[in-house]
Copies of this chain bind each other. A is one copy, B any other.
Amino acid sequence: MRATLMYGAGDVRVETIADPSIQKPTDAIVRIVRSCVCGSDLHPYHGLPEQEQGMQVGHEFLGVVEQTGADVATVKAGDLVVASFSYQDNTCEFCRVGVQTACAHPEFGFFSAAQAELIRVPLADGTLYKLPTGVDTALLPSLLTLADVYGTGYHAAKMAKVSAGDTVAVVGDGAVGLLAVLSAKQLGAERIILMGRHKVRTDLGIEFGATDVVAERGEDGIAKVVELTRGGAHKVLEAVGHRPAYDQAVGIVRGGGVISRVGVPQYEEAPVGFASLFGRNITLNGGPAPVRAYIDELLPSVLDGTVNPGKVFDRTVSLDEVPAAYQAMDHREVLKALIQF
């Protein structure tokens, strides 16, 4: 099959490699129909040391089941499925309470081979979600966002317990930030301040429900949000992952409020003491989104067209064009590239 491999920072190639095969009776093989490039794929694109052996990449996909192991019960060859970016049994103690990304199964893990024609899916019953048959092809981009970005933005809003009347600030105008805006809107937020400075993106944010856009960053950005909200936002959804975004979040959250993070932290230590979180009773939460848990909730509005999260894809490429898509996203010419097979 053809697959995307990364050989080092800035070095993405599409090559022919061996097809994946069933290794355990709980596995399935899926032929990918839509995949995409994630903002988090840019981290290795920036920092991966050069290596002899290419590393497969990509963790978001939607496709048709090609083959299933003997123990797979919920999907069968021919089913159109979307996968969560993590694979889990969906039955353990953690999965049952909605923390699928802390699944206790020894095979639990995160996909990193989805920018390819075929993919092996461990724990297929807990990972693949069967989509309705005969679904309109035009819906595929929005359905694909259930694999990660929509569920991740929704996780940010859910962990922050966004509810009617809340003032929410979203840090970051990437695909996850924009879908955090959409999610906050769906959960009833009254005011949604989007912090970002790329007009094309913030315009989409406004379409998704943002009521204000703050382009300033750092101290200026903090001052602006504190002024707009007269003291800070009840809920801050941090969708970047860099330390300045954390500091921004701490600066704009209201006393007693919540900072919910879904941007993968590129730092380990950060301020949490009296001056930052403790003194004002701020809650810090979030983490890798258990998107599998949210598909049931999010699917109906996607299917009936109430929401169109697939609008975050602003370029469609073929598999062979994936290296160029990385470059375009890195240059911020493209928000999120859809890969169509």
Residues of chain A touching chain B, judged by Cβ–Cβ distance below 8 Å, are: 94, 97-99, 101-102, 104, 159, 231, 246, 255-256, 261, 264-265, 267-288, 290
A281-B288 in contact given A94-B255, A256-B94, A256-B97 (Cβ < 8 Å): yes
Q: Are A281 and B272 in contact (CB under 8 A)?
A: no
What separation, in Å, do the CA atoms of A287 and B274 have in the docked complex?
8
A99-B285 in contact given A264-B278, A268-B274, A278-B261 (Cβ < 8 Å): no
Given contacts A99-B255, A268-B274, 9 further A-B contacts (CB under 8 A): A99-B280, A104-B231, A265-B272, A265-B274, A265-B278, A267-B273, A269-B271, A269-B272, A279-B288
Q: Are B281 and A101 in contact (CB under 8 A)?
A: yes
Q: Are B102 and A281 in contact (CB under 8 A)?
A: yes
Partner of A272, one of B264, B272, B274, B278: B272
A102-B273 in contact given A281-B285, A281-B287, A287-B280 (Cβ < 8 Å): no
What separation, in Å, do the CA atoms of A231 and B270 have in the docked complex?
26
Q: Are B287 and A285 in contact (CB under 8 A)?
A: no
What separation, in Å, do the CA atoms of A242 and B98 have in the docked complex?
32
What separation, in Å, do the CA atoms of A274 and B264 have in the docked complex?
7
Q: Are A280 and B102 in contact (CB under 8 A)?
A: yes
Q: Are B284 and A285 in contact (CB under 8 A)?
A: yes
What separation, in Å, do the CA atoms of A102 and B255 have in the docked complex?
6
Q: Which residue of B lies closest to A261 (CB)?
A: B278
CB of A229, distance to nearest CB on chain B (Å): 12
CB of A219, distance to nearest CB on chain B (Å): 18
Q: Are A281 and B273 in contact (CB under 8 A)?
A: no
Q: Are A282 and B285 in contact (CB under 8 A)?
A: yes
What separation, in Å, do the CA atoms of A335 and B278 have in the docked complex?
25
Which B residues are in CB contact (< 8 Å) with A104? 231
Which B residues are in CB contact (< 8 Å) with A279? 287-288
Q: Which residue of B lies closest to A94 (CB)?
A: B255
What separation, in Å, do the CA atoms of A338 and B152 have in the docked complex?
51
CB of A102, distance to nearest CB on chain B (Å): 3
Q: Which residue of B lies closest to A256 (CB)?
A: B99
30 contacts between A and B (CB under 8 A): A94-B256, A97-B256, A98-B256, A99-B281, A101-B281, A102-B280, A104-B231, A159-B281, A246-B272, A261-B278, A264-B278, A265-B273, A267-B273, A268-B271, A268-B273, A268-B275, A269-B271, A270-B270, A270-B273, A272-B272, A272-B284, A277-B284, A279-B288, A280-B287, A281-B285, A281-B286, A281-B287, A281-B290, A283-B283, A284-B284
